[in-house]
Structure 1
Amino acid sequence: MKTIQLFTCGFLALTLTNCQDESVDTSTMDDYNSMANKTLKMSEKMKGHSVYVSSNNSGKLSVFDIQESLEMPSMKSLSLPYMDADGVEYDVNRDAIYQVNRSDKALVTLSHISQTMDGDEIMPTAMGPSTFENGRGSALYNNKVVVVDDVTPGKLVSYHVNEDVISDFRQYNVGFEVWDVHVNGKDLWAIEDVSSNLVYFKDFHNAKSGDLMYSAKVSIEGLIRTHGLDYDAMTDTMVLTDIGSAAVPDDGALVIINEFSNKFMAAMDSGIIPMEDQIRIEGDMTELGNPVDVAVSPAKQAIFVAERAQQKLLIFEMPVSSGNYAPMYSTSVPGASSVTIDF
């Protein structure tokens, strides 16, 4: 064993009764379109074929290679010098993983990740300041990583990141318990923990440290308690997880919302995205109990799930209608807590 050092989303011209006074304009449309075009032009060589899964009890980072097959990926297990980890992000420009190290309450960098072999022990090449207490989900944006601090009331912490240095950037008080986040362009989406609510922050990229007021909040009808989210801007697809009751190991679900921009805007009046605007994967065949994180790949027509109750990585074919679908791939990942992809 060796040791290695290692949304078309401009739609949100909206105001809600509980929004901040600043109006939301449509000028971000050009930013999103520009971002989507850049993504489309990304060299195929830069795109990867790996799925990364954190664990909160094993001291391992699991890496699955799906290049040959979604149904039979190869897998390697990398040892970490800490046991408890959550949010995980891949930086294609640096071939690095940024991971929420809950054991030491710090964000860390794991470098040269594509060069690792099964069984390798990875030592972080950078560790940030300990500025969160209960780190959960994370998101990578513009050489920064924002980490959820799931305390009461909730906080977000943003860091400057690279292979060698992680430094504190900004800290935000969001006023509600938060579990996961997703950054899209200049904006941020957040999961309100212990609820069915999806929260939107306009111009998060420009927000200063301190109290951060949300721009909009909607409830997802039929969802009991959401934890993970992922959004694909090019296809305008939002995917949310529903852990149901945290104490019940087989009542989880996935919620897929196509044409999300229009549906979110339509929810302004009622504050609810109704069941008829959703596709749901749920039932005894799904192996979903407490799906705590999710990554979506419309290009692969697949959804990747960190399933904590069953302690598994699950891969589902992208559904076109609601149903009780078995995953196309299911494998044990002890302590599965977060998932990301590099494609």
Structure 2
Amino acid sequence: MKTTRLTKITIFSLFTTISLLSCSDDDDNSVAMDDQPVASVQLYASNNSDGNITIYDVTDQSAVTTSTLITASLAADGVYYNQDEDFLLQASRSDLGLEGYNTTSILTSGTTINVDADGTNDMESPREVAVNGNLIVVADNADVDGDTTTPDGRLFIYRKSGNNITLRNTIITDFKLWGITFKGDDLFAIVDTTNQLAVFTDFLNNTTDMSLSATKTIAVEGIVRTHGLTYDVQSDVMILTDIGEASNGQDDGGFHYIEGFTNKFNTLSEGATLALDQQVRVSGSATLMGNPVDVAYDATTQTVYIAEAGNGGGQILAFNNFESGGNIAPFINNSLAAASSVYLSK
């Protein structure tokens, strides 16, 4: 049964809009203009404050607009959008299941949306969502065996068929989970409470309920405790977030930008460490990162988007010109209470 509420407060925030026109003069003083339509770029964000879904139109980074869709969830984490199907999905932490919504692109800000594709309520503490075809994987970081001294977690694999979302199988891991992302058919997963990154090769070939160890696990130098991750196949870039000490949610977070990730990862043996000099680290008080729990990346504009859960009560941050790393300020800083997940659609 779905969670209901008597009241929900919607905050619709709008960034200042600046109209820009770019043109160039030829020798004959005629004006050349680009008539090609600009592809829409949208950032979807979930949160653990009210469970609503916030959509940032970042097509023009100098004129970002924000809209909010009202859900029945009270808290949510992993979020995903399929532009071809106009299908929006998030993992509800209050309802402990997946909730899918159709044709949301035509809706105006403040619209209350009803669940069209309702997953079964199997989970205890759903976090990140990763999608591969019609299969949806959700990382659950609840303790499985009831013994906190033995780290473990679960990966729930769901199959989507039309508006039906059904549990296919469950994988128990021997480490605590948080962020997950696909690289082809391989699933990369954060080893929570550590600076480690694990991979399960050909993950979806595991079709029955089982316990499964990672194919390989490495450490990432410079990270205290990683949470979020994203991989871009075209640029071969992996980005990991570092929340630092759990007790400090204000100014000890950061992210690591790793170019040429495939070769760097493949050349490391099991248990080895990826050296800091093979990464770019962005961190410091100016970044406003204290608890960056998730990340999305636009390789075209080389923009990193962060769901920051701690600093200022929660924010959506965006960074560019970060190639040298260091203590740099975000060029987008939008308040979103208890921000928990981001997904970029273009």
TM-score normalised by the chain length of structure 1: 0.84
Structure 1 residues 270 and 87, CA, compared in 2 at 3 Å: closer, same or farther?
closer
Residue number in structure 2 paired with 1:316: 319
Residue number in structure 2 paired with 1:147: 138
Moved more, 208-217 or 289-298: 208-217
Residue number in structure 2 paired with 1:265: 266
Residue number in structure 1 paired with 2:243: 243
Alpha-carbon distance in structure 1 between the residues aligned to 2:62 and 2:136 = 31
Counterpart code for 1:63: I
> Are 2:216 and 2:270, in contact at CA under 8 Å, matched by a contact in 1?
no
Q: Deviations over 1:180-238 (max 9, x none)?
A: 11012111000011000000111112112211221100000110000000001111100
> How far apart are 1:46 and its partner, in Å?
11
Gaps of 5+ in 2: 1-35, 144-151
Alpha-carbon distance in structure 1 between the residues aligned to 2:205 and 2:138 = 17
Alpha-carbon distance in structure 2 between the residues aligned to 1:269 and 1:108 = 37
Structure 1 residues 163 and 125, CA, compared in 2 at 3 Å: closer, same or farther?
farther
Q: Deviations over 1:271-329 (max 9, x none)?
A: 10011011011011101010000001111210111000020000111522221111110
| Residue 57, structure 1, aligned to residue 49, structure 2 | yes
Residue number in structure 2 paired with 1:234: 234
Residue number in structure 1 paired with 2:205: 206
Alpha-carbon distance in structure 1 between the residues aligned to 2:192 and 2:167 = 25
> How far apart are 1:72 and its partner, in Å?
3.2
> How far apart are 1:162 and its partner, in Å?
4.8
> How far apart are 1:245 and its partner, in Å?
1.2
> How far apart are 1:48 and its partner, in Å?
3.8
Alpha-carbon distance in structure 2 between the residues aligned to 1:194 and 1:81 = 31
> How far apart are 1:101 and its partner, in Å?
0.6
Compare relative contact order (CA 8 Å, sep 6+) and give the higher one, 1 or 2.
Answer: 1
Counterpart code for 1:136: R
Indicate the percent of aligned positions where both proteins have the same amino acid: 33
Structure 1 residues 102 and 47, CA, compared in 2 at 3 Å: closer, same or farther?
farther
Q: Deviations over 1:62-91 (max 9, x none)?
A: 101112x22431000111111110000111
Alpha-carbon distance in structure 2 between the residues aligned to 1:324 and 1:286 = 6
Residue number in structure 1 paired with 2:225: 225
Structure 1 residues 271 and 293, CA, compared in 2 at 3 Å: closer, same or farther?
same
Residue number in structure 1 paired with 2:61: 70
> How far apart are 1:266 and its partner, in Å?
2.9
* Greater Cα radius of gyration, structure 1 or 2: 2
> How far apart are 1:126 and its partner, in Å?
1.5
Residue number in structure 2 paired with 1:304: 305
RMSD: 1.7
Structure 1 residues 214 and 47, CA, compared in 2 at 3 Å: closer, same or farther?
farther
SS in 1 for 2:285: coil
Alpha-carbon distance in structure 2 between the residues aligned to 1:46 and 1:125 = 30
> Are 1:135 and 1:147, in contact at CA under 8 Å, matched by a contact in 2?
yes
Residue number in structure 1 paired with 2:101: 110
| Residue 339, structure 1, aligned to residue 342, structure 2 | yes
TM-score normalised by the chain length of structure 2: 0.83
SS in 2 for 1:334: coil
Residue number in structure 2 paired with 1:96: 87
Count of aligned pairs: 299
Structure 1 residues 319 and 162, CA, compared in 2 at 3 Å: closer, same or farther?
farther
> Are 1:109 and 1:162, in contact at CA under 8 Å, matched by a contact in 2?
no
Q: Deviations over 1:19-71 (max 9, x none)?
A: xxxxxxxxxxxxxxxxxxxxxxxxx999641100001112321101112x224
Residue number in structure 2 paired with 1:325: 328
Gaps of 5+ in 1: 1-43
Counterpart code for 1:339: V
Residue number in structure 2 paired with 1:40: none
> Are 1:100 and 1:106, in contact at CA under 8 Å, matched by a contact in 2?
yes
> Are 2:294 and 2:342, in contact at CA under 8 Å, matched by a contact in 1?
yes
Residue number in structure 2 paired with 1:24: none
Residue number in structure 2 paired with 1:15: none
Alpha-carbon distance in structure 2 between the residues aligned to 1:72 and 1:336 = 21
> Are 1:200 and 1:216, in contact at CA under 8 Å, matched by a contact in 2?
yes
Structure 1 residues 89 and 47, CA, compared in 2 at 3 Å: closer, same or farther?
farther
